[in-house]
Amino acid sequence: MPYLRDVRPTKSELLILKTRLKIAIKSHKTLQMKLDGLIMEVTRLSPNVKAEYELLIARHRRVRHLLAPAYMIEGMLNLTIAAYSVESKTEIELSEKNLFGVRVPVITGDNVRTDLTLRGYGLLGTSMVIDDLADAYEGLVDAIIAYAGNAAALSHLLLEIERINRRVKALEHVVIPSLEQSIKTISAAREELEREEQTRLFHVKKRRR
């Protein structure tokens, strides 16, 4: 389906189309630059996200590995008691930052890793498997926060890349060629009209003589 239909071969239309072509070329250039920038940002971010994902999986595996011994040694009751004793609350802050015009989320955590003496449970009434499990869970929460922020930013950037790419491709393969074609058609039509007009004037002039 052509981008432009029912274009009248007038001079004003030609001027409009030329302006539109100019804008389209400029937009294409700008969007192409934005796309390159976004791709560079994704290239920079994706190894980090991959490393964070691997760390998250490793920490999750550690937690699962420790969960069975913790339940075996302490039982559900003692683990629940230790959980009720915890006084430090993890706070998660959500904010946004601008990356090439894309608003990406920034997730940060506060009080994620706590000192053993500040966790809330007494040292003398608990065992070291509880420390290990608490430490493993804190590490997991830390990894989740780091991964969640960057993974969300990456997913936003990828969506934006897809959207911009579609626009760039549309400008490159549909809009600009269509405008160029229309300009060409109008120019040809106008030249034809001019020639016709010239010939008509020539014949009028000849008849008068």
Partner 1 sequence: MTFNHFFRSYLLIPSSYRYLCTRIIIRKKSLITSDQYNRLLNMDLSEFIRFIGESGYHEEIHTLSHSYHEIELIEQALTQNLAKTYRNILSISPGGLRDLAERYFTRYDIENVMLILRGCQFQIPPDKIRAVLIPAGILDPVKLDQLLAIRSVTEIINHLSSWTGHHILSSGISGEYKRGTFASLENDLYIAYYSNLLADAKSGYQGGDVIIPHLRFEIDIQNIRNIFRLRAGSNVRDITPYMIPGGYKTPNDFQRLYGITDREEFVNELSNAGILALLTKALGTLRCDKSVCDTDAAEFIWSRWAAHKTPLYTIVLAVNTMLLHHLDGLARRHQFSVLPIISYLERKKYEVMNLRAIARGKQFGVNPDFIRQHLVI
Interacting residues with partner 1 (CB under 8 A): 67-69, 71-73, 75-77, 80-81, 84-85, 87-88, 115-125, 127-129, 131-132, 135
State the minimum distance, in angstroms, from the CB of residue 63 to partner 1. Answer: 13
**Identity of the residue, 58 or 94, whose beta carbon is nearer to partner 1 in the bound complex:** 58
Residue in this structure with the two tokens 């980090």, named with its chain if needed: 48
**Identity of the residue, 33 or 128, whose beta carbon is nearer to partner 1 in the bound complex:** 128
**Identity of the residue, 19 or 111, whose beta carbon is nearer to partner 1 in the bound complex:** 111
State the minimum distance, in angstroms, from the CB of residue 114 to partner 1. Answer: 9
**Identity of the residue, 6 or 87, whose beta carbon is nearer to partner 1 in the bound complex:** 87
Q: For residues 134 and 119, what is the distance between their CA atoms, to the nearest angstrom?
A: 9
State the minimum distance, in angstroms, from the CB of residue 83 to partner 1. Answer: 10
State the minimum distance, in angstroms, from the CB of residue 92 to partner 1. Answer: 19
**Identity of the residue, 139 or 149, whose beta carbon is nearer to partner 1 in the bound complex:** 139
State the minimum distance, in angstroms, from the CB of residue 126 to partner 1. Answer: 9
